[in-house]
């Protein structure tokens, strides 16, 4: 069995971090077996190196090694890419095609960004992991394949499972052994080493002297968060190598290549589910308040109409005692006797509004109530007719202007005029 140092030299892996060495050790140990592996870690940490190590140290090293970026394949075609399709299975399927699982039979498939797989494809993949069977798109024939699956993801799988974006049973089938690669900020002793290696490579590539960092620039390099990890560090090294005329890079020059404020005083991460829950609760409270207000308004209308139609306020108060208590709270409205036969006054608390003037005759009140009912039952036909008449009068019979004001076409207005015989 090859040593960790030999493997790092063979595959161009730089660094002496203990977590990195442990990840490589695990890869070396599981390589001779056929168990499925899940490689986890942030984007840019170099997860693609682990499947290559596993494949090259396994008995499948003479078989095919296929790397598939699951996040880059459209959802509608990923089943065809992985499992193949029959001729005529869908529009554009002019011939039968073999999928990656068929082509890689006897070898290894690396499924990068496996967390991006659609749920329907996850079901198919689970079947391959369980018994090595798959069915081409548009076919009913079950085929067998003997492939080893190594998957990688930068997604928090437990969060994805919780949100029902990834199947829990598939996760446990894929992660028989889980290998985690540490983020670059957790490998501080390797950061400057990696920068020097990248700077040397770019100096050779672009035929120019190698850039060197001052001590304060090195300290900035170590303090920086490196959200993009090794990929970001490599890009910064390339930019500095190409754009800087001075081959000695101080902290000011280096700072200009790092996004300002990144990695320092980072804001707290808000839990999405908690935020959604809080918003939902507030929305429900708002709806309840609005519905209660509407209910109170309807009750108030009902009470007002009963007061206007009834000559005996004591009966109204008795029948609606609960409603009056709800409207006026703990303050009881006062009733006044009337010897003149007029409708008594309902005393409203001063903090709510001014008392209603009820000095009108009872007959007038009945008449007023009838007018209200009449106005409420005015038909849509009459309203439409009235609006058309007013608009035509306002524009001296000019149909074009009237139609524009009413928000209808001139042709529709002409038809309405004919209909109503205006």
Q: Quick check: 115 and 121 in contact, CB under 8 A?
A: no
Q: What is the mean pLDDT of residues 68-76?
A: 92
What is the model's pLDDT at position 261? 53
- Give 373-405 as a DSSP string: HHHHT--HHHHHHHHHHHHHHHTTT-HHHHHHH
The structure tokens listed for 82 are 């992985």
pLDDT digits (tens, 9 = 90+) for 235-254: 999 999 999 999 999 999 99
C-alpha neighbours within 13 Å on the C-beta side of residue 142 = 6
Strand ranges, E, within 36-124: 37-40, 65-69, 108-112
Per DSSP, 339 falls in state S
The structure tokens listed for 383 are 């309203």
- What is the average pLDDT score of the chain? 83
Q: Left (φ > 0), alpha (ψ -120 to 50) or beta: where does 329 sit?
A: left
What is the model's pLDDT at position 289? 76
Whole-angstrom CA distances from 341 to 184, 313, 363 are: 91, 12, 11
1-15, 51-65, 102-116, 223-237: lowest mean pLDDT where?
A: 1-15
121-125, 148-152, 400-404: lowest mean pLDDT where?
A: 400-404
- Is a pLDDT exceeding 60 seen at residue 281? yes
pTM above 0.75, yes or no: no
pLDDT band (50, 70, 90) for residue 125: very high
- Is a pLDDT exceeding 90 seen at residue 213? yes
- Is a pLDDT exceeding 80 seen at residue 47? yes
Q: Quick check: 24 and 39 in contact, CB under 8 A?
A: no
Higher pLDDT, 307 or 174: 174
Name residues whose C-beta falls within 8 Å of residue 351's C-beta, 6 or more positions apart in sequence.
none
Higher pLDDT, 115 or 389: 115
pLDDT band (50, 70, 90) for residue 398: confident
Q: Which domains does the chain have, with CATH numbers?
A: 4-182 (3.40.50.300), 188-255 (1.10.8.60), 291-376 (no CATH), 380-420 (1.10.10)
- Is a pLDDT exceeding 90 seen at residue 146? yes
pLDDT band (50, 70, 90) for residue 338: very low
What is the model's pLDDT at position 267? 47
Whole-angstrom CA distances from 229 to 41, 197, 254, 404 are: 10, 15, 17, 62
CA dihedral 299, 303, 306, 307 (to 10 degrees): -170
- Give 114-149 as a DSSP string: GGG--HHHHHHHHHHHHHSEEE-BT---EEE---EE
pLDDT digits (tens, 9 = 90+) for 163-203: 999 999 999 999 999 999 999 999 999 999 999 999 999 99
């Amino acid at each position: 069995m090859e040593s960790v140092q030999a493997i790092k030299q063979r595959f161009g892996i730089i660094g002496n971090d203990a977590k990195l060495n442990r990840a490589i050790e695990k890869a070396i140990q599981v390589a001779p077996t056929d168990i499925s592996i899940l490689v986890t870690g942030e984007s840019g940490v170099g997860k693609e190196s682990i499947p290559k190590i596993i494949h090259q140290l396994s008995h499948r090293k003479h078989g095919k090694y296929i790397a598939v970026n699951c996040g880059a394949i459209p959802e509608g075609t990923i089943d065809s890419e992985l499992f193949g399709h029959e001729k005529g299975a869908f529009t554009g399927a002019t011939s039968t095609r073999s999928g990656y699982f068929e082509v890689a039979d006897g070898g290894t498939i690396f499924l990068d960004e496996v967390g991006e797989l659609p749920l329907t494809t996850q079901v198919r993949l689970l079947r391959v992991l369980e018994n090595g069977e798959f069915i081409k798109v548009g076919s009913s024939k079950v085929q067998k394949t003997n492939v080893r699956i190594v998957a990688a993801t930068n997604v928090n799988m437990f969060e994805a499972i919780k949100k029902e974006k990834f199947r829990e049973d598939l996760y446990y089938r894929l992660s028989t052994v889980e290998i985690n690669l540490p983020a670059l900020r957790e490998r501080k002793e390797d950061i400057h080493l990696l920068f020097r290696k990248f700077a040397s490579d770019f100096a050779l590539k672009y035929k120019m002297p190698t850039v060197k960092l001052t001590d304060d620039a090195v300290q900035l390099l170590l303090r920086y968060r490196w959200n993009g990890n090794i990929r970001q560090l490599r890009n910064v090294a390339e930019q500095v190598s190409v754009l800087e005329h001075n081959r000695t890079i101080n902290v000011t020059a280096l700072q200009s290549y790092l996004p300002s404020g990144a990695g320092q005083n980072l804001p707290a991460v808000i839990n999405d589910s908690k935020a959604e829950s809080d918003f939902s609760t507030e929305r429900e409270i708002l709806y309840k308040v609005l519905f209660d207000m509407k209910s109170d308004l309807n009750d108030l209308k009902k009470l007002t109409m009963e007061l206007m139609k009834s000559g005996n306020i004591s009966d109204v108060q008795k029948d609606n005692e609960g409603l009056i208590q709800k409207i006026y709270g703990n303050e009881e409205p006062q009733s006044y006797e009337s010897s003149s036969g007029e409708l008594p006054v309902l005393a409203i608390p001063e903090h709510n509004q001014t008392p209603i003037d009820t000095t009108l005759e009872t007959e007038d009140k009945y008449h007023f109530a009838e007018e209200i009912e009449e106005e409420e039952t005015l038909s849509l036909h009459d309203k439409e007719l009235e609006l058309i008449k007013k608009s035509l009068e306002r524009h001296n019979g000019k149909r074009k202007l009237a139609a524009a004001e009413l928000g209808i076409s001139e042709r529709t207005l002409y038809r309405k005029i004919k209909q109503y015989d205006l």
